[in-house]
DNA sequence: TCACTGTCAAGAGCACTGCTCTCGGTTTTG
DNA sequence: CAAAACCGAGAGCAGTGCTCTTGACAGTGA
């Protein structure tokens, strides 16, 4: 690559990456709450104040880690979808759901960083919304392709959103041309179910009942895929 | 009341409550992460070390706040259900969902404390599981009553859980006598959807699409109530 | 070649945190 | 009434994010 012209710029980019790597390492073991700039600087053999040349504050480091986490999750989901490119949309959908869960289980602290409680007083900058929307956009794309191929159940009984809800659904409609609004509304519902279930698993809300959650997760994803019309009633009985 | 015999015991109980109240106040403005024992002691005109006579560590204070939060949420949900005691189970169900959301929106920091990312290295003690299960138990009770009155849709097309998943569902079955396992499985799915949706709303994941989420929440709850058979197909078309 | 400019790591220091320990004084108890 | 238990106050430790200053270095134009 050699993107940076001068040696100084290259060194700076490399050190920035090293700091983020050390921060991620510490994130995995200590958690976002206990992430300490001084500990990072110790691990790197630097003095703490030197880190402020690269990240003006702890929050800026967190922002960088948040963006990286969204991108890593999005990349994992997208590659899972690409690996099943010629499969049935319902199988692609289920593969994406599984990939999201797998990534979350492999990187619980990074998942908590983006889908857990936000840090008070920390305002997520606008730069995070684009990487954050990779997974939803991917999911909408799967539904859109299923629809254009005529593989989407009609869901005639599903209620059509009206009023303000219809306007809100239209934001999704712009990314899913041709998909009926009643389906998009359900996609949004299923979207919240997916991440709610993963959060419950990771945050320990399932212990005593559905933990370990492998079977529960698989069955829930199947039923939710049917719920949005990706799987036919005949297939699974719904 | 005068529960505590001696004056000292009464003073201790009162001061413990005052500390928790101050902590809750600070929680609402600063967030759990920045909750500071020293700030609490300042607000109370005490010295920080004196707090350790009442809570051996910051984590113990957090545990007390967590239990209080679970109890407050459970009480809010239960009173919402009690207020509609003679209504149709589906209306009771929807009232409970709305009450949970309302409580979460009114106490976002306490909600984040119990349903957000857990603090790393903090092991929730066993004393939290009983208050944590008040809402799920309440929900299972509504479904159970609907079933015994014959008001639950049969959901013949819903798949029956098998294998380990069936065993896990049986944990719920013990609290919902007579309700088919395929329904209980769906109750668990809907349970994760409800809290996933509330978390998304509170944690800012819905901005740009479904925010404000009033209509989305109401419609999602309705469709999910139908999903578990509380509302008939004819009512809403499903 | 040499001075100028921007960048860098280092160090001292500030205000804050959770937590421990000791010290007197008060309250409860035997 | 004396002993034991409990209490708040204060000092102090090790850690935190962050700021500011200092001296060394690299790149650049004269």
Rounded to whole angstroms, how far apart are CA atoms A97 and A77?
Answer: 8
Closest residue to C20 (CA to C1') is: B49
Max Cα distance, chain A (Å) = 64
> What pLDDT is recorded for position B182?
98
Work out the burial of residue A85: count CB atoms within 10 Å of its CB; fewer than 13 is exposed, 13-18 middle, 19 or more buried. Answer: exposed
Q: Which of A99, A71, A72 is nearest to A83 (CA)?
A: A99
Lowest mean pLDDT among A174-188, A191-205, B116-130: B116-130
Residue B119 has a pLDDT of 78
Res B233: pLDDT:
55
For residue A165, name the pLDDT band (cuts at 50, 70, 90): very high
The pLDDT value given to residue A237: 36
Q: Which residues of chain A make contact with B203, given a CB cutoff of 8 A?
A: 115-118
**What's the confidence (pLDDT) of residue B60?**
95
Query: Would you place residue B4 in the very low, low, confident or very high pLDDT band (cuts 50, 70, 90)?
Result: low
Q: Is the pLDDT of residue A234 over 50?
A: no
pLDDT tens-digit readout, A49-85: 999 999 999 999 999 999 999 999 999 999 999 999 9
On chain A, the residues whose CB falls within 8 A of the CB of B172 are: 209
Mean pLDDT across chain A, nearest whole number? 92
Instruction: Calculate ∠ Cα A112-A193-A210, nearest 5°.
Output: 80
> Taking 80 as the threshold, does the pLDDT of residue B235 lie above it?
no
- pLDDT value of position A5: 58
Compute the count of residue pairs across chains A and B with CB atoms less than 8 Å apart. 165
CA-based nearest distance A163→chain B, Å: 9
Q: Does A36 touch chain B (CB under 8 A)?
A: no
Residues 64-103 of A with CB under 8 A from B: none
Predicted TM-score (pTM) of this structure: 0.95
Which residues make up the interface with nucleic strand C when CB must lie under 7 A? Answer: A 8, 12, 15, 45-50, 53-54; B 5-8, 35-39, 48-49, 52, 56-59
Instruction: For B18-58, write each residue's pLDDT tens digit.
Output: 999 999 999 999 999 899 999 999 999 999 999 999 999 99
Measured between beta carbons, the chain B residues lying within 8 angstroms of A161 are: 215, 219
CA A167, CA B227: separation in Å to the nearest integer?
Answer: 24
CA B200 – C1' D16 distance (Å)? 31
Structure tokens at B72: 């407050």
State what percent of residues in chain A have pLDDT above 90: 84
User: Could you read off the pLDDT of A97-147 as tens digits, one per residue?
Assistant: 999 999 999 999 999 999 999 877 777 788 899 999 999 999 999 999 999
Other beta carbons less than 10 A from residue B57's beta carbon? 11
């Amino acid at each position: 690559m050699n993107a940076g012209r001068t040696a100084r710029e290259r060194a700076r980019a490399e050190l920035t990456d090293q700091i983020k790597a050390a921060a991620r390492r510490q994130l995995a073991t200590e958690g976002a709450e206990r992430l300490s700039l001084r500990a990072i600087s110790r691990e790197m053999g630097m003095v703490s104040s030197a880190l402020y040349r690269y990240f003006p504050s702890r929050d800026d480091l967190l922002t960088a880690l948040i963006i990286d986490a969204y991108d890593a999750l999005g990349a994992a989901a997208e590659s899972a979808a690409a690996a099943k490119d010629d499969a049935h949309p319902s199988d692609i959908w289920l593969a994406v759901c599984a990939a999201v869960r797998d990534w979350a289980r492999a990187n619980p602290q990074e998942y908590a960083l983006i889908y857990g409680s936000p840090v008070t007083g920390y305002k997520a900058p606008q730069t995070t919304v684009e990487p954050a929307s990779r997974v939803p956009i991917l999911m909408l794309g799967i539904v859109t392709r299923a629809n254009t191929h005529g593989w989407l159940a009609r869901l005639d009984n599903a209620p059509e959103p009206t009023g303000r809800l219809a306007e809100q659904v239209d934001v999704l409609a712009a990314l899913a041309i041709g998909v009926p609004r009643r389906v998009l509304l359900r996609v949004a519902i299923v979207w919240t179910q997916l991440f709610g279930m993963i959060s419950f698993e990771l945050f320990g809300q399932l212990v005593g009942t559905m933990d370990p959650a492998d079977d529960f997760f698989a069955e829930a994803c199947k039923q939710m895929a049917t719920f949005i019309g990706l799987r036919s009633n005949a297939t699974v009985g719904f």
